[in-house]
């Protein structure tokens, strides 16, 4: 594969990442995101996963959940936070939140409101293996 083709793929993925981060609370479809990138949805899904290392669905879920954490310091109800973060129901939000953070949104909310100032919840340190993106692209042929 030509270097310019790889660069075009990477630029398209970054364009979609920017779009996702600006519109994470909206319903985002593979069809819509592939149009932003300028590729067919099937081809772009493979490109995105090979460059980012996770599917678009996983990436969108991570962005949505990460952006909810500061909202818990406010007096917003969890249901309101869930809906404004792109989740259709409180239960789907709660399930995804607990799976990602290892704590229920209710417990997280309680801890966020109790802890004031610079204090933080106890961090969970997770080590992940380094990924050489260029080697990954070469191996997958994307």
pLDDT at residue 1, rounded to an integer? 58
What is the rounded radius of gyration, in angstroms, for the C-alpha atoms of the chain? 18
Dihedrals phi, psi of 64, to nearest 5 degrees = -60, -45
Q: Tell me the per-residue pLDDT of 5-39, one tens digit each, with 9 for 90 and over.
A: 888 889 999 999 999 999 988 888 989 999 999 99
* pTM score of the predicted model: 0.69
Query: Is residue 127 pLDDT above 90, yes or no?
Result: no
Structure token pair of residue 22: 């600006």
The b/e string for 16-30 (b: 16+ C-beta within 10 A; e otherwise) is bbeebeebbeeebee
Q: Tell me the per-residue pLDDT of 55-93, one tens digit each, with 9 for 90 and over.
A: 999 999 899 898 888 888 777 888 998 888 888 888 999
CA distance 4 to 106: 48
- How open is the CA angle 44-30-101, to the nearest 5 degrees? 105
How many CB atoms are closer than 10 A to CB 83?
A: 15
Q: Does the domain spanning 3-140 belong to CATH 1.10.630.10?
A: no
Dihedral sign (CA 54, 55, 61, 66): positive
């Amino acid at each position: 594969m030509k270097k310019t083709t790889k660069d075009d793929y990477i630029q398209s993925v970054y364009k979609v990442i920017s779009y996702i981060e600006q519109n994470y609370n909206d319903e985002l479809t593979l069809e819509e995101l592939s149009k932003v990138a300028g590729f067919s949805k099937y081809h772009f899904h493979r490109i995105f996963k090979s460059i980012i290392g996770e599917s678009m669905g996983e990436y969108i879920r991570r962005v949505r959940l990460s952006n909810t954490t500061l909202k818990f310091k406010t007096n917003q109800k969890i249901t309101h936070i869930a809906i404004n973060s792109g989740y259709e129901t409180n239960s789907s939000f709660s399930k995804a939140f607990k799976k990602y953070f290892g704590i229920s949104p209710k417990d997280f909310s309680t801890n966020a409101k109790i802890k004031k100032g610079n204090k933080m919840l106890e961090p969970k340190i997770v080590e992940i293996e380094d990924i050489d993106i260029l080697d990954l692209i070469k191996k997958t042929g994307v």
